């Protein structure tokens, strides 16, 4: 006699459970492979559940500055969580928000005078646009036009999408986006064209000119020179146009200076920050503006108020973590690491310069990018992207090519040995193409 066997259903794995209930960002859920479960982070290394490790060469979507699970940041977060996790930010304030605003204003370009908190890069851009439009509205000189650069990326909410370069990503929403005029990005060879069109488009009915200074991230790590942006800013200013510097990606040392704006003589009126703001630990956005913009909202008339806010505005946990990250960022050790990584990138750039599969090598500080030259047009949907992503992932390197653009954006704690390993894998990829 044998006992009846009960059918045993194997417990589902975490990726399978994920697939049942989660919808991932920028992911075609029908064809995407199951996501990789990460159980721990340590410096530039991500540890997967099966013991595999990955070198995080894109700083986990451009947010991480000092490495994963940094003890100093974790400590500040825990302390703050035991003290005050959150409080309404209308009618109330708290130490971390005030101190962070004070300290941000000391490291930002001089003209920035006030700090407005929100939750992420897209909201930081939304707030900047609303400040710009309402600035003109409050002064009874309504201006409606916005100028942006082609291939710009400013986020995924509607206002941010509207000022981004129009692409396949925004196509379903095109009818709902407000009109924006675009200038070609002033890359080498295109400068005169951009300046000529700027002279036409910058008129006295333009409210704002928004740019990612010096490096257009999502557009494909497109880089251009400070002198050109200074010239564009001067032309815009002649017409009183408000200048918005979206430093969501370029801020906090990525370009070799604390902000890309520090390469410029002309300074923006509004700045957008997020991503590296908290060292990549918590979601937080900041929009800063000049005194003149702030003053345009001061009135006995309540209708001149900036009616904008989010439930988690100036979340104390996020602000504390941003302060901890700023301590680390300003430390000599980190500033030296930024210079070390920049120099390391320059050497690697020389090494690959002659490779037949490499073109358009470009660098600004800790950002290094080049095109994979496989005789196809640059496009996100280019299959070379999937091949390169998988090839490097299989070798323990997390990079996420933008179409055929391969780039490195390592956390500042990444060692030369780790970079050398990454370089070997990139060489192997290049030689396999
Ligand atoms: C990522 C990014 C944004 C959007 O930030 P989110 O936090 O993803 O909303 C805006 N501007 C630039 C330049 C960015 O790189």
150 SS3 class: coil
CA 169 to ligand 1 center in whole angstroms? 14
Which segments within 85-163 are labelled E, that is strand? 112-118, 145-149
Closest ligand 1 atom, residue 285 Cα: 7
Q: Among positive and negative, which fits the CA dihedral 329, 331, 332, 337?
A: negative
Q: β-pairing, 397-398 with 53-56?
A: parallel
Taking the CB of residue 376, how many other CB atoms lie within 10 A of it? 12
Parts of the chain belonging to CATH 3.40.640.10: 72-330
Contact 55, 45 (CB under 8 A): yes
pLDDT tens for the chain, residues 1 to 433 = 556 666 667 778 999 999 999 999 999 999 999 999 999 999 999 999 999 999 999 999 999 999 999 999 999 999 999 999 999 999 999 999 999 999 999 999 999 999 999 999 999 999 999 999 999 999 999 999 999 999 999 999 999 999 999 999 999 999 999 999 999 999 999 999 999 999 999 999 999 999 999 999 999 999 999 999 999 999 999 999 999 999 999 999 999 999 999 999 999 999 999 999 999 999 999 999 999 999 999 999 999 999 999 999 999 999 999 999 999 999 999 999 999 999 999 999 999 999 999 999 999 999 999 999 987 555 555 689 999 999 999 999 999 999 999 999 999 999 999 999 999 999 999 999 9
Instruction: Specify whether domain 72-330 bears CATH 3.40.640.10.
Output: yes
Q: How many whole angstroms from 375 Cα to the centroid of ligand 1? A: 30
Domain 14-70+331-432 top-level CATH class: alpha beta
Quote the pTM value.
0.96
Atom 7 in ligand 1: which residue has the minimum CA distance? 121
- Residue 248 Cβ inside 6 Å of ligand 1? The answer reads yes
**Using CA positions, which residue lies closest to atom 5 of ligand 1?**
121
What is the rounded CA–CA span in Å between residue 107 and residue 131? 22
How far apart CA 66 and CA 69 sit, in angstroms, is 9
CA of 122 to the centre of ligand 1 (A): 6
* Angle 117-276-270 from CA coordinates, rounded to 5°: 45
Beta carbon of 155 within 6 Å of any ligand 1 atom: yes
Retrieve residue 147's tokens: 């100028």
Residues near 307 by Cβ (< 8 Å), separated by ≥ 6? Answer: none
Say how many C-beta atoms besides its own lie within 10 A of residue 355's C-beta. Answer: 16
Binding-site annotation, residues for substrate: 61, 153, 275, 309, 400
């Amino acid at each position: 006699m044998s006992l009846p066997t009960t059918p045993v259903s194997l417990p589902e794995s975490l990726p399978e459970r994920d697939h049942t209930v989660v919808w991932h960002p920028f992911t075609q859920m029908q064809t995407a492979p199951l996501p990789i479960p990460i159980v721990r982070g340590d410096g530039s290394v991500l540890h997967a559940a099966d013991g595999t490790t990955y070198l995080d060469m894109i700083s986990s979507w451009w947010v991480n500055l000092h490495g994963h699970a940094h003890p100093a940041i974790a400590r500040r977060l825990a302390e703050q969580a035991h003290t005050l996790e959150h409080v309404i930010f209308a009618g109330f304030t708290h130490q971390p928000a005030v101190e962070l605003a004070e300290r941000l204003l000391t490291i930002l370009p001089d003209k920035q005078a006030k700090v407005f908190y929100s939750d992420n890069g897209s909201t930081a851009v939304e707030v900047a646009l609303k400040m710009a439009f309402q600035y003109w509205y409050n002064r009874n000189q309504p201006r409606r036009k916005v100028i942006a650069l082609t291939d710009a990326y400013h986020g995924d909410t509607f206002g941010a999408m509207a000022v981004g370069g129009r692409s396949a990503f925004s196509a379903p929403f095109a009818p709902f986006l407000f009109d924006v005029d675009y200038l070609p990005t002033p890359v080498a060879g295109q400068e005169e064209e951009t300046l000529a069109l700027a002279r036409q488009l910058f008129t006295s009915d333009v409210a704002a000119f928004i740019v990612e200074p010096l490096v257009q991230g999502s557009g494909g790590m497109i880089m251009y020179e400070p002198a050109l942006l200074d010239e564009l800013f001067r032309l815009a200013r002649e017409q009183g146009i408000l200048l918005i510097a979206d430093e969501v990606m370029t801020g906090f040392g990525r370009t070799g200076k604390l902000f890309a704006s520090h390469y410029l003589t002309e300074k923006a009126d509004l700045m957008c920050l997020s991503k590296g703001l908290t060292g990549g630990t918590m979601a937080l956005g900041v929009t800063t503006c000049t005194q003149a913009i702030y003053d345009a909202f001061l009135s006995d008339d309540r209708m001149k108020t900036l009616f904008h806010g989010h439930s988690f505005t100036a979340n104390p946990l996020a602000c504390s973590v941003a302060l901890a990250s700023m301590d680390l960022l300003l430390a000599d050790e980190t500033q030296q690491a930024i210079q070390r990584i920049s120099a390391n990138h320059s050497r690697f750039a020389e090494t690959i310069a002659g490779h037949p599969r490499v073109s358009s090598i470009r660098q600004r500080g800790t950002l290094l990018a080049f095109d994979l030259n496989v005789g196809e047009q640059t496009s996100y949907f280019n299959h070379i992207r999937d091949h390169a992503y998988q090839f490097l992932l299989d070798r323990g390197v997390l990079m996420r090519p933008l179409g055929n653009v391969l780039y490195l954006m390592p956390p500042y704690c990444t060692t030369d040995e780790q970079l050398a390993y990454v370089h070997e894998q990139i060489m192997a990829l290049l030689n396999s193409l």
